[in-house]
């Protein structure tokens, strides 16, 4: 049974009452417990630093050479918080409502309200750490708008918000490393979870420099390992981002929820060819001042693509600012799923721009004329520079070309209100859990969730679990540690024995193409059934004809990639199964069979108002679906409209 452990009582009081009712650990006893934190992005670094500050012993692991290289560093546009500094009508409840609505009513009310509630504390925490948020002329913290909201609640540090927030958390983490409360394991990749009597008690890692397979014990394990967008091969994620830690935990009993919920970000630099290994995000904040458009007719678009006319030759009356036309209330700041689907629609009509025709324009001409180039440069200068370096096109002089790309994953390990998975003692924080964003994440909410979980939720909830344990150290000589380590070694040797004709990247690209084509921006039953067969064939091809070079006893990126892609192949099939069973459209999950007359996502609340939580039942066995039914007592379920 799935018990969300949602507290009783009024929505606004749930978290306060719950904190009071949680069991506490005496400060003198905290030093008797060891907590493992896997991943050192915003969720991991903030959790490790906070728990160590409380007195717990923490072991932190990352596969990068330094925690400051976690992918949180790549976030650009900002972080939401309901402080209402702009006096434009924001509130905790409005942030809660916008987040629930943005996720198309497929998130748990209590978790989302808590996120909105603690958001106001995150900004104060980060300012105290020295995070250089943008400020207005009078010196107060500035805000800007993001999609899915009609208020300005996004705090930002130019286009480097993720980097600055991570450096703040990293400095707090470093302080605890220096004090000896955190032991940091860089260049270590988690390859399995160790359970004893059904409880998480440790992890198995591979030292990525020496190849040593190591066992690490702890009283609780926190996974803070990000999302699985790289199952699509091309995404805005760093190439190292993977699902391995979460997937191996899933195979040890942690339910995986809503895997089909993938966010396609509408504002990315378009694909230019097969040579690319990743895609580049252009912050959603650009849609504050940039206007999205395409030519009104296919003929004009064709002439533009052939070079017969230039952008400047297209008169204002011949430009279709389609988001402003279709959604007058929100305009260019509609949520990401809505903007992405509309970009695909105009491109499918033949009105796309650029040499490939698979792009739309993001135009700053009006903003530059209204505000001046210096003002636009002050707001977005580093983003414009990045675009210029990649495309050799000057966005001050001509529109950016953008197109949707895989960005964030709303699915992840199932967790209850305490962020504990279905495995006691195993927690999931940040993007690797499913809890806060439903079927679509609003922009600037990822950083908010990661820091909320790490700074303000897990320090309370993990104590409730530990208070029920004894003080005895975890027995690292328990047979389960050795058994799990041997299973990891066997998997490594199996991968290294593969000497086929295909590279791991060959298989990964094929998987990515299949996922994008049939489980991407739009899905239908026939395509998903085809995708499932193609992925099963790819899995056979991987294990029969891939080659993995090198040895284990060395730095071996071929081996690292192989293990991650093997997990992506299994995850990809579950994503397709999840998309197949959910015969409705909601947020980023767009089933072509379920849409309104206007082409918007059409939910089926009667049959699908639940979280889909999948249980692993063994190799090549179908996973079992469990349902956590969602109750909405504080918002009315309506067809989303941003018109």
Task: Evaluate whether 289 touches 379 at the Cβ level (below 8 Å).
Answer: yes
Whose tokens are 């930002």? That residue is 156
- Number of neighbours of residue 133 by Cβ within 10 angstroms: 19
* Active-site amino acid positions: 336
What is the separation, in whole angstroms, between the first and last Cα of the chain?
A: 40
**Beta carbons within 10 angstroms of residue 614's beta carbon:** 22
Distance separating alpha carbons of residues 636 and 638, to the nearest angstrom = 6
Structure tokens at 150: 């009609």
Q: Which residue has the tokens 């293990």?
A: 563
CA-to-CA distance for 218 and 222, rounded, in angstroms? 10
Token duo for residue 458? 């897990």
Distance CA 173, CA 171 (A): 5
Q: Which residue has the tokens 């252009």?
A: 282
Distance from C-alpha of 72 to C-alpha of 184, rounded to nearest angstrom: 18
SS3 for 228? coil
Identify which of 156, 265, 248, 172 has the alpha carbon closest to the alpha carbon of residue 485: 248
Gap between the Cα atoms of 185 and 172, Å rounded: 16
Assign 3-class secondary structure to 231-296: HHCCCCCCCCCCCHHHHHHHCCCCCEECCCCEEEEEEECCCCCCCCCCCCECCHHHHHCCEEEEEC
| CA count, 13 A, side-chain hemisphere, 251 | 19
Q: What is the torsion angle, in degrees rounded to the nearest 10, for the CA atoms of residue 498, residue 499, residue 503 and residue 505? A: 10
Beta carbons within 8 Å of 334's beta carbon, 6+ residues apart: 147, 148, 323, 327, 342, 642
Q: What is the C-alpha separation between 440 and 442, in angstroms, rounded? A: 7
Query: Length of the chain, please?
Result: 643
Angle value at C-alpha 284, between 278 and 288, nearest 5 degrees: 150
Integer Cα distance of 220 and 417 in angstroms = 17
Structure tokens at 395: 């966005």
In sign, the C-alpha dihedral spanning 367, 371, 375, 377 is: positive
Degrees, nearest 5: CA angle 336-339-344: 120
């Amino acid at each position: 049974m799935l018990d969300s452990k949602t507290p009783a009582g009024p929505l606004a009081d749930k978290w306060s009452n719950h904190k009071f009712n949680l069991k506490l650990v005496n400060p003198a006893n905290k030093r008797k417990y060891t907590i493992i934190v896997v991943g050192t992005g915003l969720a991991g670094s903030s959790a490790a630093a906070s728990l160590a500050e409380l007195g717990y012993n923490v072991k932190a692991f990352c596969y990068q050479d330094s925690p400051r290289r976690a992918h949180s560093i790549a976030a650009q546009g900002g972080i939401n918080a309901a402080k209402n500094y702009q006096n434009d009508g924001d509130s905790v409840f409005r942030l809660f409502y916008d987040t629930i609505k943005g996720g198309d009513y497929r998130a748990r009310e209590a978790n989302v309200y808590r996120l909105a509630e603690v958001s106001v504390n995150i900004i104060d925490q980060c300012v105290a750490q020295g995070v250089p948020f943008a400020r207005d002329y009078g010196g107060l913290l500035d805000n800007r708008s993001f999609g899915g909201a009609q208020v300005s609640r996004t705090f930002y540090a130019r286009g480097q918000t993720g980097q600055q927030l991570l450096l703040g958390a990293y400095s707090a983490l470093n302080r605890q490393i220096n004090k000896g409360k955190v032991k940091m394991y860089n260049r270590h990749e988690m390859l399995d979870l160790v359970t004893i009597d059904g409880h998480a008690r440790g992890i198995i890692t591979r030292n990525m420099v020496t190849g040593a397979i190591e066992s690490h014990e702890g009283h609780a394990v926190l996974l803070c390992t990000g999302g699985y967008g790289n199952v699509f091969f091309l995404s805005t994620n760093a190439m190292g981002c993977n699902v391995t830690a979460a997937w191996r935990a899933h195979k040890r009993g942690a339910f995986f929820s809503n895997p089909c919920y993938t966010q396609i970000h509408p504002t990315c630099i378009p694909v230019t060819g097969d040579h690319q290994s990743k895609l580049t995000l252009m912050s959603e904040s650009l849609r504050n001042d940039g206007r999205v458009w395409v030519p009104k007719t296919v003929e004009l678009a064709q002439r533009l693509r052939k070079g017969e006319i230039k952008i400047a030759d297209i008169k204002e009356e011949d430009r279709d600012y389609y988001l402003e036309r279709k959604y007058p209330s929100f305009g260019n700041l509609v949520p990401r799923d809505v903007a992405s689907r509309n970009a695909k629609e105009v491109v499918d009509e033949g009105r796309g721009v650029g040499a490939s025709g698979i792009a739309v324009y993001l135009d700053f001409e009006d903003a530059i004329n209204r505000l001046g180039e210096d003002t636009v440069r002050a707001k977005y200068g580093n983003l414009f520079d990045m675009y210029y370096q990649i495309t050799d096109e000057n966005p001050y002089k001509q529109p950016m070309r953008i197109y949707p790309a895989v960005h964030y994953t709303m699915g992840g390990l199932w967790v209850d209100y305490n962020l504990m998975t279905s495995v006691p003692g195993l927690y999931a924080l940040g993007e690797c859990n499913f809890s806060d964003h439903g079927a679509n994440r609003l922009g600037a909410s990822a950083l908010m969730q990661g820091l909320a979980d790490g700074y303000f939720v897990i320090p309370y909830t993990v104590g409730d679990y530990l208070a029920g344990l004894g003080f005895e150290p975890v027995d690292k000589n328990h047979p389960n540690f050795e058994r799990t380590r041997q299973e990891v070694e066997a998997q490594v040797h199996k991968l290294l024995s593969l000497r086929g004709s295909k590279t791991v990247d060959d298989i990964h690209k094929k998987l990515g193409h299949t996922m994008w084509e049939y489980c991407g921006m739009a899905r239908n039953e026939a395509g998903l059934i085809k995708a499932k067969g193609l992925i099963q064939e790819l899995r056979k091809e991987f294990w029969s004809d891939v080659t993995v070079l090198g040895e284990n006893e060395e730095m071996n990126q071929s081996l690292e990639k192989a293990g991650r892609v093997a997990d992506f192949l299994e995850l990809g099939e579950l994503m397709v199964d999840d998309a197949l069973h959910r015969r409705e459209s909601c947020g980023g999950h767009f089933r072509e069979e379920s849409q309104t007359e206007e082409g918007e996502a059409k939910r089926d609340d009667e049959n699908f108002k639940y979280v889909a939580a999948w249980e692993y039942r063994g190799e090549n066995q179908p996973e079992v679906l469990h349902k956590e039914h969602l109750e909405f007592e504080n918002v009315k379920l309506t067809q989303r409209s941003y018109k």
